[in-house]
Amino acid sequence: MKNRIQFFITFWVVCVIVLTACGTQAISTPGVVPTSLQTIEAAAEDIIDFAPSGNWDKISADVTEINEAWNNYQSQASQAGASQELQNAMMSALTQLQTAVEAKDAAATMQASNDISAAVVELFALYNPKVPADIGRLDVLERQVNLNVAAKDFAAAEASLDKTKSVWENVKPSVLEHQGEEVATRFEASLTAQESALEAHDDVTLTNEARDGLEIVDEMEQLY
């Protein structure tokens, strides 16, 4: 009897260690992302869509919506596990967005909006969303490639593309597990084309391929 009790105690301890080592995400179920964060994400993407055409009335309305949503959410950030660094990044991007919109600077507006998207993806990740946060990161990074190319900063574009490839390798197994073989093949082909265009400093092809990559990332989201 003593040996059996010792066995079960040992077995229980091993189970606890294994589960702890796996981390909370491995055993948690998909969580619900707060509406405020979803609002910020949608409005930031809206701004990137409207900035090139100079629809400043619509953009200003989106900025107001983002500010209100952040004010509603901010008190929950620390409790959800958001670092102060992440919260500061969000607030800095908001400040830059307001400045860029007041100046009607389209390029700076799009960059600030993408910075907001980058921060909000990390906040999404705190809630273990159904769609992996890495897919949101791919969205942000492919947009960043386009922004870098538009600014004629090929070194920055290379860094953004390198990050894109790294994030893709991390999330690829999940995409494949969700019957995403065909999507994965097309995305990898796009990454290869982007790399070739970058080496040639072919900004037109690189921009088009990054846009194609963004559309494929949208398809990835639909797998979940």
Residues 6+ apart with CB under 8 A from 85: none
**What radius of gyration, in Å, describes the C-alpha atoms of the chain?**
21
Per-residue pLDDT band at 20 (split at 50, 70, 90): very low
Q: Delineate the domains of the chain, giving CATH numbers in brackets.
A: 33-129 (1.20.120.290), 130-224 (1.20.120)
**Mean pLDDT for the stretch of residues 45-53:** 96
Render pLDDT for 74-89 as a digit per residue (tens, 0 to 9). Answer: 999 999 999 999 999 9
pLDDT, residue 28, reads 43
Check pLDDT > 70 for residue 54: yes
Residue 83 three-state SS: coil
Per-residue pLDDT, 29: 57
Strands (E), 16-163: none
b/e code 171-205 from CB counts within 10 Å (16+ = b): beebbeeeebeebbebbeebbebbbebbeeebbeb
What is the average pLDDT value for the chain, to the nearest integer?
89
- Nearest Cα to Cα of residue 128 among 18, 21, 20, 24: 24
Average pLDDT over residues 70-75: 96
Going from the C-alpha of 144 to that of each of 13, 48, 116, 160, the distances in angstroms are 46, 11, 12, 7
pLDDT band of 141, cuts 50, 70, 90: very high
pLDDT grade for 175, boundaries at 50, 70 and 90: very high
Distance CA 103, CA 90 (A): 20
pLDDT of residue 44 exceeding 60:
yes
Stated pTM of the model: 0.84
**So what's the pLDDT on residue 31?**
85
Q: Using the predicted structure, report yes or no on whether residue 171 has a pLDDT greater than 80.
A: yes
| Gap between the Cα atoms of 211 and 217, Å rounded | 10
Report, as an integer, the average pLDDT of 196-208: 96
Percent of the chain topping pLDDT 90: 86
Is 21 a residue whose pLDDT tops 60? no
Residue 203, token pair as written in the block: 């900004």
* Contact in structure between 216 and 135 (CB atoms under 8 Å): no
